[in-house]
Amino acid sequence: MTALAERVRWAPRLATGPAAGTWIALGLVVLLAAAIVTARGGDYLTQANLLNMLSRTTALGIVAVGQTIAILAGSLDLSVAYLIGLTSLIAAEVMAGDPAMIVPGVLAVLAASALVGLVNGLVITKLQVNAFIATLGVGLVIKGILESRYEGPAGSVPVLFQRLGYDRIGPIPVAVLLMLAVAGAAALFLHRTRAGHHVYAVGGNVEVARLSGVPTTRTTVLAHVICSLCAGVAGLYLASRLGAGAPYVGTDGGYDLESIAAVVLGGTVLAGGRGGVSGTVAGVLLLAVLDNLFDQLVLDAFFKASCAAP
């Protein structure tokens, strides 16, 4: 009865919330893309193409979910791209091809991510450094570590762990399920935990939150820890995809700014306090569809250009 009531009350919110516009836009863009590709004689809605888009979305999706929480708290995180590179290396180096080291590798990644999030949060709240500068600075610190210690890909992850990146359950890649799980957990956190409610309050109006007894510093720090943990999970996924750690896998993917773009596209307000994970997922998918369409067109143009040249 309660569950039903919940569902009934949730349905209209999904349809009217800030995320609705993004989902509708996503639908329209998919239709448009399908129309363009079909008109050019391609076949857009093939399972292969859809899955291709989905798995490319995974890493960005996981990062963007974390970014959503940081932004909802009135902050933002520019350090995620470097953190992804770092955690992919930590995973690959700790595992070093040994299946027995998978669990320690994952734990090491999560610990390192949590530490980075903690530093971000404390620099922002205790040193009162603007979040933009704080996370940019922390990102640069990580970048320096990457540059000084690695020239290129390093370490290796065991085949068992690579299955995270490549296996499917039925038609659906495991990694997509991982992303959905992260999104679901984040939604649960935001809507059903006190800390999640406090994230909205701190992002909405920090003074009102303080007067209402919300622990504002702790909330901001927690939001950053969660954001960094998500980046760490994305690093794990990318390590499993690549079979090794790569220092620039995060920056090459542009995960810092693109995750923020996805969050904003998803209807979450940059100033904080309004929005949610559902919109972000739609925002990520929207970017993926556009990217995919773009690629097909570029490929097309490139192909034509090469053909035209004698």
Query: Could you give the 3-state DSSP secondary structure of residue 168?
Result: strand
Q: Does 147 bind other proteins (CB under 8 A)?
A: yes
Identify the H or E element spanning 283: helix 277-308
Q: Identify the burial level of 61 via C-beta atoms within 10 angstroms of its C-beta, where 0-12 means exposed, 13-18 middle and 19 or more buried.
A: buried
- Tell me the CB-side half-sphere exposure of residue 80, using CA atoms within 13 A: 35
d(CA 264, CA 251): 20
Nearest to 188 by CA among 64, 307, 23, 69: 69
For residues 198 and 224, which CB has a smaller minimum distance to other proteins in the complex?
198
- DSSP per-residue string spanning 52-113: HHHHHHHHHHHHHHHHHHHHHTT---S-HHHHHHHHHHHHHHHHTT-GGGHHHHHHHHHHHH
For residues 59 and 260, which CB has a smaller minimum distance to other proteins in the complex?
260
Q: Which two tokens stand for residue 62?
A: 């996981």
For residues 139 and 165, which CB has a smaller minimum distance to other proteins in the complex?
139
Minimum CB–partner distance for residue 267 and other proteins (Å): 12
Query: With contact defined as beta carbons under 8 Å apart, do 70 and 128 qualify?
Result: no
Interface residue with other proteins, options 11, 130, 172, 181 (CB under 8 A): 130
For residues 152 and 171, which CB has a smaller minimum distance to other proteins in the complex?
152
63-102: contacts with other proteins (CB under 8 A): 78
Task: Region of 41 please: left (phi>0), alpha (psi -120 to 50) or beta.
Answer: left
Q: Does 284 bind other proteins (CB under 8 A)?
A: no
Q: Which two tokens stand for residue 243?
A: 């079979």
Interface residue with other proteins, options 38, 40, 45, 302 (CB under 8 A): 302
Q: Does 11 bind other proteins (CB under 8 A)?
A: no
For residues 163 and 304, which CB has a smaller minimum distance to other proteins in the complex?
304
190-249: contacts with other proteins (CB under 8 A): 191-194, 196-198, 200-201, 204-205, 208-209, 211-214
Minimum CB–partner distance for residue 208 and other proteins (Å): 5
For residues 13 and 163, which CB has a smaller minimum distance to other proteins in the complex?
13
- The strand pair at 168-169 and 172-173 is best described as antiparallel
Query: Which alpha helices (DSSP H) does 96-157 contain, by range?
Result: 102-125, 131-149
Interface residue with other proteins, options 4, 8, 127, 307 (CB under 8 A): 127
- Interface stretch with other proteins, choices 2-10, 24-32, 46-54, 232-240 (CB under 8 A): 2-10
For residues 4 and 48, which CB has a smaller minimum distance to other proteins in the complex?
4
Minimum CB–partner distance for residue 158 and other proteins (Å): 30
Interface residue with other proteins, options 30, 62, 101, 138 (CB under 8 A): 138
d(CA 266, CA 285): 10
259-278: contacts with other proteins (CB under 8 A): 260-261, 264, 270-271, 273-274
Q: Does 136 bind other proteins (CB under 8 A)?
A: yes
d(CA 205, CA 142): 31
Cα Rg of the chain (Å, integer): 20
For residues 80 and 101, which CB has a smaller minimum distance to other proteins in the complex?
80
Residues that bind other proteins (CB under 8 A): 2, 5-6, 9, 78, 123, 127-130, 132-134, 136-145, 147-148, 188, 191-194, 196-198, 200-201, 204-205, 208-209, 211-214, 257-258, 260-261, 264, 270-271, 273-274, 294, 297-298, 301-302
